[in-house]
Amino acid sequence: MSSIQLKRGASDKSLSPVDQQAKEDIAQEAETGKVYRANYCDKLGRPVLVMRPGLQNTNSPVGQIKYLVYCIENAIMNLVQDQEQMVWLVDFQGWAMTSISVKVTRETARILQDHYPERLGIGILYNPPKIFESFWTIVKPFLETKTYKKMKFVYSDDPKSLKVIEEIFDLDKLDVAFGGRNPAGFNLEVYARQMKDDDSKRMNFHGSGCSSPFYHSSSLSESQQHESTDLDRDSNASDEGRL
């Protein structure tokens, strides 16, 4: 069982085996901090999803997509009033192309654009390596123009591009990994408590018969499940469709 797995309390007793397995799967995906909601927002009050693809720790694309959906929906559930978008911060430290499937990337982009249109305010690609340019050239056609234009390349050795960071974030709150002054970084225990709080919010929404104006079920819908059915098989595919 994952080290982040929370003890089952009274609220968990009604979980079906499938629901409990989903919680354990999410716990495993969350362990390394490859995707998580930061404990700070940008200057506009938008929640921030930090992504570190170099910390990938599982082999199931379907599981990875489900966890990304879980994180996106937790961010949506925590939106402040009059705010409908979030910020993505992508840290490329440790990133490699060796296991990236172009087909999986295409399907991921399609699911996110079909089911979460206009949720992305801006995406910051921080210190992508030179080799990423080849991958980006292939991925770019999968993105809608309005989505592509929201992606900003930022380099720690380029003062001009760093202005994007300075304009969007309070540097006292921003993680040092992105040029900020907050040394806290990712803490598994702290994030586990945050996940538990978000899960409690979700249960309260359902239990009261109400829902967040921005919230959707954290389980993939039937159509999303159908779209991602072949992804696990594709992850073990031959070099066809891979860089």
| pLDDT tier, 20 (very low <50, low <70, confident <90, very high otherwise) | low
Is this prediction's pTM over 0.85?
Answer: no
pLDDT confidence tier of residue 201, bands split at 50, 70 and 90: confident
Question: Across residues 201-214, what is the average pLDDT?
Answer: 58
Whether 84 has a pLDDT exceeding 70, the answer reads: yes
Range from 40-44, 129-133, 158-162 carrying the lowest mean pLDDT: 129-133
- Asked if 169 and 179 count as a contact pair (C-beta separation under 8 A), the reply is no
Given pLDDT bands bounded at 50, 70 and 90, which one contains residue 23? Answer: confident
What is the length of the chain? 243
Q: What pLDDT is recorded for position 96?
A: 85
CATH of segment(s) 19-210: 3.40.525.10
- Phi and psi at residue 181, to the nearest 5°: -120, 10
Long-range contact list for 235-241, CB < 8 A, 24+ apart? 235/59, 235/60, 235/61, 235/99, 235/101, 235/104, 237/101, 237/103, 241/101, 241/102, 241/103
* Antiparallel, parallel or unpaired: β 120-126 and 151-154: parallel
Provide the mean pLDDT of the chain: 79
* More confident: 187 or 102: 187
What is the pLDDT at residue 162? 95
pLDDT band, residue 15 (cuts 50/70/90): very low
Which has more pLDDT, 170 or 133? 170
Domain coordinates of the chain in residue numbers? 19-210
Q: What is the DSSP string of 204-228?
A: HHHHTT---TT---SSPPHHHHHHT
What is the per-residue pLDDT across 149-182, written as a single tens digit (0 to 9) for each? 999 999 999 999 999 999 999 999 999 999 999 9
* Number of C-beta neighbours around residue 84 at 10 A: 13
